[in-house]
Structure 1
Amino acid sequence: MRRQLTHEFQNLIDRGRDRQLRLAVTGLSRAGKTAFLTSLVNQLRHAGIDARLDLLKSAREERLLGAQRVSQPDLGIPRFPYDEAMTSLEASPPQWPEPTRGISELRLQLRYKTRRARGLLGDTATLTLDLIDYPGEWLLDLPLLEHDFLSWSEAQLKGMGPARQQYAQAWQDAVAKHSADETVEESRLAELAAHYADSLRQAREAGFSHLQPGRFLLPGELQGAPVLQFFPLPGVGEDDRQALEALPASSLYQVLKKRFRFYQQHVVKPFYREHFRRFDRQIVLVDVLGALNAGPERFEDLSQALATLMRSFDYGKRSLMNRLFSPRIDRLAIAATKADHVTPDQHANLVTLLESLLAEPIKDLRFANVPVRAFSLASIRATEPREVESDGKRQAALRGHGLDGEPLLVYPGDVPAKLPEPEFWRRQGFAFTPFRPAAAGPAALPHIRMDAALEWLMGDKLR
């Protein structure tokens, strides 16, 4: 207990001196969180040796001396599996690291030379960097706090488009055999909830993103717990509220209502209170290319999911008191990942498309004078740009290896610079090809614009 209090006291001192930074990394499934964090740690560990970090000012000026991993402060949170991720990348053949399934953490200490007046180098200083990895799906649950069970249930069922509906059909057929007023055995409730969770997983595999509750997809330590055994109730709406509220506690409606409420109070709220409100800065990773590949309904679904996710943040400028006792996110990066899966001439379009997807949240942030910047990046570059000749013309292409190990030379197509028009979907001019990572060696991992993201997220702390 005394050691924990000492840690907390030291954290307060470091926050007051601006020597501690808590950087949260999130994104929906397949956005590349594990690759990003692995590359971030790897680049900082190789700083000043062989890492290519020209856009990180402290590295360019040779003031960043390096980074070391140290014990994380919260021993109750799983450690981010950096060593396991590097083992996958160094394997023969190399493999992408296994994605994390819940919250994890890693602490680095960065050593750098400070700048004095007139550009002279001063003493060395230390920045403690806490990296927190958590699923974006969990943020999709925060709007649940605005609902009660009936309004949430209605919203979920109304929000299903035709393509999404097909994955929910088996669950709807199963739940249609029961009425809101009947008593349903625990085993049957678990069965129906499993059907619903399976429909969410199938929808995610098909490219959908706006799926609730998020913990049904990534349950973590709640796997098998009754708190995850509820689901929307078809066939009822606001007009039925009075009759539904009069039903006995053992009825299907009342049991689902109770579990929904428990989920709000004991899963959603604690995550926000215990973890989310403690973050200083945030990067949101977005798989824009995967959504383009999946088609218009899934692309629109990603747009809705991102809008929901962005509403969750508590942004704002921080006073000293706020930094010490109630930190809020004061700088945001949004990044379109897998930029190495399109040719370099398409990177600018990837950024403007991402900004179009998040146009309304970005406007709100800028109105509140909160710094936000969009990037396209590849945490771990898997391809090399090339040119090929076709019909007497030179055309950009990518060279790499497919997931099956076969060598590939492809042109994925043009990325639209703004939200796609119907014509784009009719001709389907984009074909996203997944690539295997290049074999990792003792040198720093190859990347695209990781240094630009690092400069934005922490460069001001390394002056």
Structure 2
Amino acid sequence: MKRLTQEVNDFINRSVDSHVRIAVTGLSRAGKTAFISSLVNQLLHTSTHDNLPLLSAARDKRVIGAKREPQTNMMVPRFSYDEAMEHVHSEPPKWPEPTRDVSEIRLALKYKPKKKTKKLLNSTATLHIDIIDYPGEWLLDLPLLDMDFYQWSQSQFTALKGLRKELAQPWLDQLAALDLDAELNEKDLLAISDSYTEYLHTCKDSGLHWVQPGRFVLPGELEGAPVLQFFPCQFDENAKARKGSNLEMLKARYHEYQQKVVKAFYKHHFSTFDRQIVLVDCLQPLNAGYESFHDMRDALEQIMHSFKYGRSNILKRLFSPRIDKVLFAATKADHVTPEQHPNMVSLLQQMVHPAWQNASYENIEMSCLTMASIQATQTGFIGQGDQAIPALQGVTMDEQPMTVFPGDVPKKLPNQAYWQQQGFEFTAFRPQASSQDDPLPHIRLDKALEYLIGDKLK
């Protein structure tokens, strides 16, 4: 009865535009957990601190305060906000643990409305915000919804070039010895699927982002299940798999994974979002090299095709929600000096250009910015002769204080010569020390909030 009441309330809230579901999207290590933790932290502090000057409702003193609410879906674990804060406020400070499963958090944000229609109802209004966290690896599986086993296999073999082909060799050697038409041998399939999974892990460790299926590298509760024991293979598309053969089982497992794992995940979590922020780490791929950088760009493009886009109206909001605003955010802006931020925006715009075209066709709003959800460095200048050179100062992950100029961020997509001639030196810093009584230091997270929910607070 409680859940039914909550669902009815959500329906009413959506009808009066007082409920928003935000998709926090990004590949592994893009900073989703840090973003959600800081977003919650900033909003919870709005009643006592002027920490969000770029959020117009906060700047105009119309935000009264925020609180956490029980989530609607009782089958999904809560987002580990308290544990994340323990990490950030520990001595020394640490980054929150990366996501290993789906989790959810709901906030209620009370404010003074400007719109006459809302003022007629009450002098205050409440916006309910749902945010879901999930492993970035799982997002990589969404394109499987549009591919059968043959098409997916072909896409994996087409991608075997350069570093990826080199890393795949041990798996390919085992695959070559498998007779697809032979009677099912589960031991052989397990051995080859283990080898394929190891190949995906090696790709990820080498800075490549497109690893599919994503659940193979972060299985969650499915670890050891036969549904994760398949791999791409080459066969005649028109030939029917022999009953009881290895190929028949591989096809069956892929179909089960596609329908029971990927489709269920998409339906339960991604088909009902109203707004989307796509977090992109441009810096580590710049540091890793040409293949890593372009592999991430291709991954983002394919993922973006999986979301529903379109202008929202009251009927769509009630019965068929679609994303009507997308924000692309280059994370870790505190890991470059401030004069490089415009270059980061320019680079991000070019990186997501194909995805942008896809969304823009649906006539929705889009924007790009740079941000740091939890600030890790201070900026300043160091003297070099009679010149002042911009620099960052922070503490590295192994607790070494460091002052550094990481280099120039290219304005445009770099060609291979960029890495041969100069490249980019990325240094990972831990979070700054901060007080539990104060909001976390950030860069432009308030600007992101203004874009995502500013219009809902009018």
Aligned to 1:365: 359
Which residue pairs with 1:58 in the alignment? 57
Counterpart in the other structure of 1:80: 79
Partners of 1:65 and 1:112 within 8 A in 2: yes
1:360 is displaced (CA, Å) by 2.0
Bigger CA drift: 305-314 or 154-163?
A: 154-163
Q: How far apart, CA to CA, are the structure 2 residues paired with 1:102 and 1:43?
A: 24
1:428 match: 422
For 1:460 and 1:148, the matched residues in 2 are separated by 41
> How far apart in 2 are the matches of 1:78 and 1:183?
42
Report what 2:126 is aligned to. Answer: 126
Instruction: Assess if the C-alpha contact under 8 Å between 1:48 and 1:59 holds in 2.
Output: no
Residue 37 of structure 1 aligns with which residue? Answer: 36
Name the stretch that deviates more: 266-275 or 451-460: 266-275
Residue deviations 1:60-91 (CA, integer Å, cap 9, x gap): 11111121011111010111000000001111
Aligned partners of 2:50 and 2:58 also within 8 Å: no
Matches within 5 A, 1:310-329: 310-329=304-323
Matched, 1:448 2:454: no
Of residues 301-310 and 147-156 in structure 1, the stretch that sits farther from structure 2 once superposed is: 147-156
Matches within 5 A, 1:166-315: 166-233=166-233, 236-237=234-235, 240-243=236-239, 245=240, 247-315=241-309
Q: Tell me, yes or no, if the aligned pair for 2:282 and 2:331 is still in contact at 8 Å.
A: yes
1:105 equivalent in alignment to 2:80: no
CA distance in 1, matches of 2:98, 2:17: 32
Tell whether 2:19 aligns with 1:20. Answer: yes
Matched residue type, 2:21: R
Percent sequence identity is 49
Residue type of the alignment partner of 1:214:
G
1:380-395 matches, cutoff 5 A: 380-395=374-389
SS of 1:183's equivalent? coil
Q: Mind listing any 5+ residue stretches in structure 1 that lack a counterpart?
A: none
Using the TM superposition, give the Cα deviation of residue 146 of structure 1 relative to its aligned residue in structure 2, in angstroms.
2.5
- Give the equivalent residue in structure 2 for 1:149: 149
Aligned residues: 454
Contact 1:94 1:438 in 2 (8 A): yes
Q: Determine which of 442, 449, 460 is the counterpart of 2:455.
A: 460
Match of 1:89 in 2: 88
> Secondary structure of the equivalent of 2:112?
strand
Amino acid at match of 2:64: L
- Which residue identity lines up with residue 302 of structure 1 in the other structure? M
- The alignment partner of 1:277 has SS state of coil
- What per-residue deviation string (whole Å, max 9, x for no partner) do you get for residues 185-208 of structure 1? 323322221211121111111111
Q: For the residues of structure 2 that align with 1:51 and 1:291, how far apart are their CA atoms?
A: 35
Q: Does the 8 Å CA contact 1:352/1:417 hold for their aligned counterparts?
A: yes
Please tell me whether the aligned partners of residues 114 and 124 of structure 1 are also in contact (alpha carbons under 8 angstroms): yes
Q: Matched residues in 2 for 1:443 and 1:147: separation?
A: 48
Q: CA deviation at 1:265?
A: 1.4
Please report how far the alpha carbon of residue 51 of structure 1 lies from its aligned counterpart in structure 2 after TM superposition.
4.7
TM-score (norm. length: structure 2)? 0.96
Equivalent-residue separation in structure 2 for 1:173 and 1:67 (angstroms): 57
Give the Cα separation in 2 of the matches to 1:44 and 1:147.
41
Partners of 2:360 and 2:144 lie apart in 1 by 26
CA distance in 2, matches of 1:367, 1:146: 20
Superposition deviation, residue 219 in structure 1: 1.7
Q: CA deviation at 1:184?
A: 4.2
Q: Which residue of 2 aligns with 1:160?
A: 160
Which digits, 9 at most, give the CA deviation of each residue in 1:216-240, with x for residues without a partner?
122222221111110011xx34xx3
Deviation at 1:462, TM superposition (A): 0.8
8 Å Cα contact 1:90-1:439 kept in structure 2:
yes
Which whole-Å CA distance do the structure 2 matches of 1:456 and 1:391 have between them? 43
**SS of the residue 2:452 aligns to:** helix
Q: Gapped runs of 5+ residues in structure 2?
A: none
Partners of 1:287 and 1:336 within 8 A in 2? yes
Rounded Cα–Cα distance in structure 2 between residues aligned with 1:460 and 1:72: 23
The answer as to 2:345 corresponding to 1:351 is: yes
Q: Which residue of 2 aligns with 1:49?
A: 48
**SS at the partner of 1:256?**
helix
Residues in 2 aligned to 1:76 and 1:415: alpha-carbon distance in whole angstroms: 43
Q: Is the 8 A contact 2:132 2:269 kept in 1?
A: no
Contact 2:286–2:423 (CA under 8 A) maintained in structure 1: no
Counterpart amino acid of residue 17 in structure 1:
V
Counterpart secondary structure, 1:114: coil
* Range that drifts further, 107-116 or 177-186: 177-186
Deviations 1:225-284 (A, max 9, x none): 111110011xx34xx3344x1x42222111111111111111122222222111111111
Structure 1 residue 174, shift from structure 2 partner: 2.0
Q: What is the one-letter code of the residue matched to 1:98?
A: E
Cα deviation for residue 412 of structure 1 reads 0.3
TM-score, normalization: structure 1? 0.95
Give the conservation status (yes or no) of the 8 Å contact 2:331–2:371.
Answer: yes
Tell me the equivalent position of 1:330: 324
Deviation at 1:139, TM superposition (A): 3.0
**Aligned residue for 1:408?**
402
Task: Tell me how far apart the structure 1 counterparts of residues 141 and 378 of structure 2 sit (CA, whole Å).
Answer: 39
1: CA distance between counterparts of 2:375 and 2:73?
32
- Helix, strand or coil: the match of 1:202? helix
CA contact under 8 A between 1:385 and 1:396: conserved in structure 2?
yes
Say which SS state the counterpart of residue 278 (structure 1) adopts: coil
- Counterpart Cα distance in 2 of 1:231 and 1:429: 35
How far residue 116 of structure 1 moved from its aligned partner, in angstroms, is 5.5
For 2:10 and 2:107, how far apart are their aligned partners in 1?
A: 14
Please report how far the alpha carbon of residue 115 of structure 1 lies from its aligned counterpart in structure 2 after TM superposition: 1.9
TM-aligned CA deviation for residue 105 of structure 1: 0.5
